[in-house]
């Protein structure tokens, strides 16, 4: 086990009437709140009215900035920062999924920073202070509701970059599975793919003596997969929605990463795909992950076999662990297919013409990529080629 620090201070309120607690949490955002949301689905499902009433009940001033799109854009973040400064905003209430929350975190950090907020994402500066952020979650996926992570896309150069700092964690997160009932199936499936990836990327490590987090991660993965099938069968199953929603948070609150060194290569490669093609993040992950596993399998057979055995119940072949590992990857791929997700680039309408470019951008110049297995640009190109068709 590696040394670590763990600090997750987000207050979680979970339940079928969770937003009733909202007025008592809003004051954590100060006296003037920016209500930040997406392209309007919160109005369709009636959540906007609930939140506005809570803001009134809390007795705070508020203004709003909607329009966050999937793969949130830097330009809207800049707009939010200007607005907050001009209006003297004291805190941000993000109502939506990961994109809205990530955008809110970027604004919250940018307001308190003299330079360009993109400096954080380009690795040129670290946020030291932020406005407080609160969350009402509508899409279980990114885990951003309690994580310190934020991913933003800079339109110029189609650069999608993520950062993680404890001070970016929201002050509170309201989780009501009811608001996820109206999600279209594809979006539900993409969220499931994202949370599963968050666990897998912590799981596949070379750090030894991590049984505790291994076994917890395996339990979370088994649950996500099982409950996903239940939900596919009946998208109105509120119990399965509940399990999936809480799993999405647990997958990325970083407890499962304690004492380990994760490998975020798949997320990195996927960011280049969805940065260029504007594919849903979860659909990019279902394409990248099996290809990445196939490519690293010869070097890390035992851990992938453990995954196959403990998560998918594949027999462990003592005389041929590779067979076990391969069968695990096959079942993972089958799981994605069963959820209606693409597992090849071509299935998502993407050809091979920009594979080299994506491989180069993943490396971002000279950054080393990968800890489970370190990868060169050529390796990443191979993985994307495996993922092609």
What's the min distance (Å) between Cβ of 26 and its own copies?
Answer: 15
What's the min distance (Å) between Cβ of 224 and its own copies?
Answer: 8
DSSP alpha helix (H) spans, 89-184: 98-111, 118-121
**246 part of the interface to its own copies, by CB under 8 A:** yes
**6 part of the interface to its own copies, by CB under 8 A:** yes
Tokens 């920009």, residue located: 354
Each residue 251-290 as x (binds its own copies by CB under 8 A) or -, in order, gives ----x--xx-------------------------------
Cα distances from 201 to residues 32, 192, 205, 301, 320, in angstroms, run 38, 14, 8, 16, 25
Of 52-60, 68-76, 205-213, 343-351, the window that binds its own copies (rule: CB under 8 A) is 205-213
* Binder of its own copies out of 74, 247, 308, 359 (CB under 8 A): 247
What's the min distance (Å) between Cβ of 285 and its own copies?
Answer: 20
Q: In sequence order, what are the residues at sequence separation of 6 or more whose Cβ sits closer than 8 angstroms to the Cβ of residue 69? A: 38, 39, 76, 99
What's the min distance (Å) between Cβ of 116 and its own copies?
Answer: 30
Q: Are strands 172-175 and 91-96 parallel, antiparallel or unpaired?
A: unpaired
What's the min distance (Å) between Cβ of 293 and its own copies?
Answer: 22
Q: In sequence order, what are the residues at sequence separation of 6 or more whose Cβ sits closer than 8 angstroms to the Cβ of residue 163? A: 120, 121, 127, 149, 150, 151
Q: In sequence order, what are the residues at sequence separation of 6 or more whose Cβ sits closer than 8 angstroms to the Cβ of residue 162? A: 121, 149, 150, 151, 152, 267, 271
What's the min distance (Å) between Cβ of 178 and its own copies?
Answer: 12
Residue 261: Cβ within 10 Å count:
14
Q: In sequence order, what are the residues at sequence separation of 6 or more whose Cβ sits closer than 8 angstroms to the Cβ of residue 325? A: 297, 301, 304, 305, 307, 308
Each residue 316-335 as x (binds its own copies by CB under 8 A) or -, in order, gives --------------------
Residues 64 and 32 sit within 8 Å (Cβ to Cβ)? no
Distance (Å, rounded) from C-alpha 50 to C-alpha 20?
Answer: 9
**183 part of the interface to its own copies, by CB under 8 A:** no
* Binder of its own copies out of 130, 147, 180, 242 (CB under 8 A): 242
**208 part of the interface to its own copies, by CB under 8 A:** yes
**12 part of the interface to its own copies, by CB under 8 A:** yes
Each residue 211-240 as x (binds its own copies by CB under 8 A) or -, in order, gives xx-xxxxxxx-xx--xx-----------xx
Residues 263 and 370 sit within 8 Å (Cβ to Cβ)? yes
**Number of residues located near its own copies, criterion CB under 8 A:** 44
- Kindly report the backbone phi and psi dihedral angles of residue 170, in degrees, each rounded to the nearest multiple of 5, phi listed first: -65, 155
Looking at residues 21 to 50 of the shown chain, list those that interact with its own copies (rule: CB under 8 A). 21
Question: Interface residues with its own copies (CB under 8 A)?
Answer: 1-18, 21, 208-209, 211-212, 214-220, 222-223, 226-227, 239-240, 242-243, 246-247, 250, 255, 258-259
């Amino acid at each position: 086990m590696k040394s670590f620090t763990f600090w997750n201070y987000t207050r979680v309120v979970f339940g079928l009437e969770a937003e009733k607690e909202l007025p008592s949490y809003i004051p954590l955002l100060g006296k003037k709140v920016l209500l930040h949301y997406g392209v309007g689905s919160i109005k369709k499902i009636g959540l906007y009215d609930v939140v506005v009433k809570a803001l009134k009940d809390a007795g705070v001033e508020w203004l709003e900035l909607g329009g966050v799109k999937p793969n949130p854009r830097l330009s809207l973040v800049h707009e939010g920062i200007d607005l907050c400064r001009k209006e003297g905003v004291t805190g941000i209430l993000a109502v939506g999924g990961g994109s809205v929350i990530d955008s809110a975190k970027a604004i919250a950090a940018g307001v308190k920073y003299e330079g360009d907020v993109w400096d954080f994402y380009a690795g040129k500066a670290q946020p030291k202070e932020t406005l407080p952020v609160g969350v009402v979650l509508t899409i279980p996926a990114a885990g951003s509701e309690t994580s310190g992570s934020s991913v933003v896309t800079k339109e110029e150069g189609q650069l999608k970059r993520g950062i993680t700092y404890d001070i970016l964690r929201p002050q509170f997160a309201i989780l009501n599975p009811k608001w996820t009932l109206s999600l279209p199936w594809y979006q539900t499936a993409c969220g499931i793919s994202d949370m599963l990836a968050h666990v897998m990327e912590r799981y596949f490590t070379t750090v030894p003596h991590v049984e505790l987090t291994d076994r917890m991660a395996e339990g979370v993965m088994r649950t996500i997969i099982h409950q996903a099938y239940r939900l596919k069968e009946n998208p109105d199953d509120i119990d399965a929605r509940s399990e999936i929603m809480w799993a999405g948070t647990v997958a990325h609150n970083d407890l499962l990463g304690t004492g380990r060194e994760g490998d975020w290569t798949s997320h990195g490669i996927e960011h280049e795909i969805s940065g260029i093609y504007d594919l849903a993040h979860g659909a990019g992950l279902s394409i990248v992950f099996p290809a990445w596993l196939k490519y690293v399998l010869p070097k890390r057979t035992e851990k992938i076999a453990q995954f196959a055995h403990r998560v998918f119940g594949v027999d462990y072949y003592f005389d041929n662990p590779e067979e076990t590992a391969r069968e695990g990857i096959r079942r993972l791929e089958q799981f994605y297919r069963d959820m209606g997700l693409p597992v090849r680039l071509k299935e998502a309408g993407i050809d091979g013409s920009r594979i080299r470019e994506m491989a180069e951008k993943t490396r971002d110049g000279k950054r080393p990529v990968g800890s489970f297995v370190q990868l060169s640009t050529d390796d990443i190109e191979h993985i994307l080629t495996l993922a092609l068709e």
